[in-house]
Amino acid sequence: MDFVLTEEHRMAQQMVREFVEKEVKPTIKEWDRKQEMKPEILPRMAELGILGINVPVRYGGQGFDYITLALVCEELERVDTTLRVVMSVHMGLNSMSLMQWGTEEQKQMFLIPQATGEKYAGFGLTEPDAGSDVAALRSTARREGDVYVLNGEKTWISLATKGHHFLVFAKTDTHANPPHSGITAFMITSDMKGVTTGDLHGKLGVRAGSTGWISMENAEVPVSHRIGEEGEGFYIAMSALDNGRYTVGAGAVGLIRACLEDSVKYAHERETFGKPIAKHQLIQQKIAHMQQWYDAAQLLIWKAGWLKNIGQRNTRETSVAKWYATDMSVQAALEAIQLHGAYGFSDEYDVERYLRNAKGAVIYEGTSEIHQLMQAGYALGLREDRPLRCELPAYDPEYWQAEAEPVS
């Protein structure tokens, strides 16, 4: 493993950093208060190539590796979590699933317009009565000739009213034993008859983002839109979560950094008892903890990214990275608010928003409790990853950055 970032890594990192500093940071409080997504955000991310950052060039992407994806997510969440959420659902959960499980036809149909930013993508697994217990989902898919008829409702769906393509999961066999073996994955589009979407409001955090629901009522989905085989949906969902968790953890690294940088700045500016609070040892303790959490979380994420680059299964490593980084982002935000004192309790400073945003990440993409159970299972030898029919492709620069061969 090489801890030195390449010129390409730093170029992507700097590009995203400049984008968020100039175009997002000055207005993020306004849109957070409005509880709306800034209309220009998605088109600008598409224009800059961010929405296809680690998709091969032949499929409309930028051809960067998985470490670059982590760096991009860190820079996005350094300013606001809503931007990283876009990458988690559009890139991590959807586009990377197409890279892993999609046929060539499906990549041409869905991946290319997603990578170029022509279409925005989401992910529909969670239901009103099914979250951590994926096998409890109630959406159904019944095959009738060349189509599947889907019925059900998905909730807490990022980009629900902004997205065009959604990777959703439904039961093709409601009597399967075990229950998860009856789940199948499908790509649906927002303009399909029977598909409707709506927004959810009143969230604690991630207010400048789009979160909503998807309803499917006798929606006819072509068989060609089925991702993988019937009954493979659970494994497709779990592999998608490996990628989504990677982006969530990488974003949490950025949130820890935001807390650290804002706290360092405030500690030098604020004076008590005749000296900057940076001179007080208990303030230094808080800063030291944030630095420790940032360094450790970043290294865990980079390890998972390195494993992705070499094509090695990384479910355990991604789980512990997401668990640690998100838990520590909450702790960093709490410490940042405490360090800011009364000012940290108001929205005059960004740290209160950091805390509200951080709290969501210890719930979605597997709660912290789920990740604790996973890690205990690995340590005790009670958990073993089942080999998948399709693994996420390793990063090959020659292939990733090569243009598609012309069709003869």
Given the residues 77, 352, 365, 403, the one annotated as active site? 365
| 221 strand-pairing partners | 148
141, containing H or E segment? strand 140-144
Identity at 275, one-letter amino acid code = K
| 165 strand-pairing partners | 121, 189
CA 154 – CA 214 distance, rounded (Å): 5
Is 199 within 8 Å of 210 (Cβ atoms)?
Answer: yes
Strands 271-272 and 275-276: antiparallel
Q: Calculate ∠ Cα 14-17-19, nearest 5°.
A: 110
Q: Calculate ∠ Cα 144-150-152, nearest 5°.
A: 155
Q: What is the dihedral of CA 174, 175, 180, 182, to 10 degrees?
A: -60
Angle between helical axes of 233-269 and 315-340 (0-180°, round to 10): 30
**CA of 383: how far to CAs of 78, 87, 199, in Å?**
34, 29, 38
220 is a catalytic site residue = no
CA 66 – CA 81 distance, rounded (Å): 19
| Closest alpha carbon to 94 in 309, 197, 249, 243 | 243
Torsion sign over Cα 100, 104, 105, 110: positive
CA 157 – CA 211 distance, rounded (Å): 5
CA 136 – CA 302 distance, rounded (Å): 33
Q: Which two tokens stand for residue 164?
A: 């065009």
* Cα 85 → chain centroid: 5
CA 49 – CA 68 distance, rounded (Å): 13
Angle between helical axes of 66-79 and 281-309 (0-180°, round to 10): 150
Tell me which residues are annotated as active site: 365
